Amino acid sequence: MDARVTKLGLVIFDCDGVLVDSEPLSLACLTANLNRIGVAIDLATVRARFTGTSMVSIMGHIAHDYGVAAPPDFVETVKAETLALFDAELRAMRGVAEAVASLDPPVCVASSSDPVRLRHSLSLTGLLPLFGDRVFSSAQVARGKPFPDLFLFAADRMAVEPAACLVIEDSVPGVTAARSAGMQVAGFTGGGHWDHDPAGVDLLRAGAARIFSDFSDLPAVLAEA
């Protein structure tokens, strides 16, 4: 960020795959349910195509690309099974609570998850008090990631100019959305779903300024912003 323009005024965190290690659980659940309704897709493809994407967008892709119309209760079934998995297995990313609590700039969350799942995840892992009501969902905007709407909405609600925001993201759609919003992005690859590309090459190609995989490195990431 050019110090002549503005200084860092807000750190925006994605939730799934950044604050909580949820993606291995949710992607496995989504894959199993897609297979159940006749979509021939494997976990690697689901991870590559749908990480960081809202269910509305996912179902649009499934109908268009696979010609499968999901039953009316499909999305709610996936949500319910995912929440049950979270209750049993969801964990916060190692070191994230301490890292967020130590930050000087204001913080918020901007996630593709629906509001119920989002707050449930943060509550389960003890992270919600760090953010309070500064938690924003793609359900609050017209278009989810990779469009910039959610990040612009979060910045507006936090009264911070987009150029003064740093986004922490783990997905290509998320990085693309943040860059389209005129924000800096750091890619996080510490989640359990990033074993295929620990260097974050896809995130760098999408526009992330740097990659980190451990929240002990967050102060250095902010120092470079």
The arithmetic mean of pLDDT across residues 168-173, rounded, is 93
What global pTM score does this model have? 0.85
DSSP state for residue 52 in the 8-state scheme: T
Q: Which two tokens stand for residue 10?
A: 């807000």
State mean pLDDT over 153-178: 96
Q: Judging by DSSP bridges, how do beta strands 184-188 and 210-212 pair with one another? A: parallel
Average pLDDT, the chain: 92
Task: Provide the pLDDT for residue 181.
Answer: 98
Write the pLDDT tens digit of every residue in 131-146.
999 999 999 999 999 9
- The CATH number that domain 10-21+90-223 falls under is 3.40.50.1000
Out of 44-53, 169-178, 212-221, which region has the weakest mean confidence (pLDDT)? 44-53
pLDDT at residue 2 is higher than 70: no
Pick from 211, 206, 157, 161: nearest CA to 182:
161
Of residues 117 and 207, the one with the higher pLDDT is 207
- Tell me what pLDDT residue 100 has: 97
Task: Quickly state the pLDDT bin for 3 (edges 50, 70, 90).
Answer: very low
How crowded is residue 181: how many other Cβ atoms within 10 Å of its Cβ? 23
Q: Are the C-beta atoms of 23 and 52 separated by less than 8 Å?
A: no
pLDDT band (50, 70, 90) for residue 176: very high
- DSSP class per residue in 113-147: S-HHHHHHHHHHTT-HHHHTT-EEEGGGSSS-TTS
* Domain 23-89, architecture per CATH: Orthogonal Bundle (1.10)
Domain ranges of the chain: 10-21+90-223, 23-89
- What is the mean pLDDT of the segment spanning 199-210? 92
Structure confidence by residue, pLDDT tens digits, 74-127: 999 999 999 999 999 999 999 999 999 999 999 999 999 889 889 999 999 999
Whole-angstrom Cα distance, residue 198 to residue 213?
8
Tell me the average pLDDT across 64-80: 93
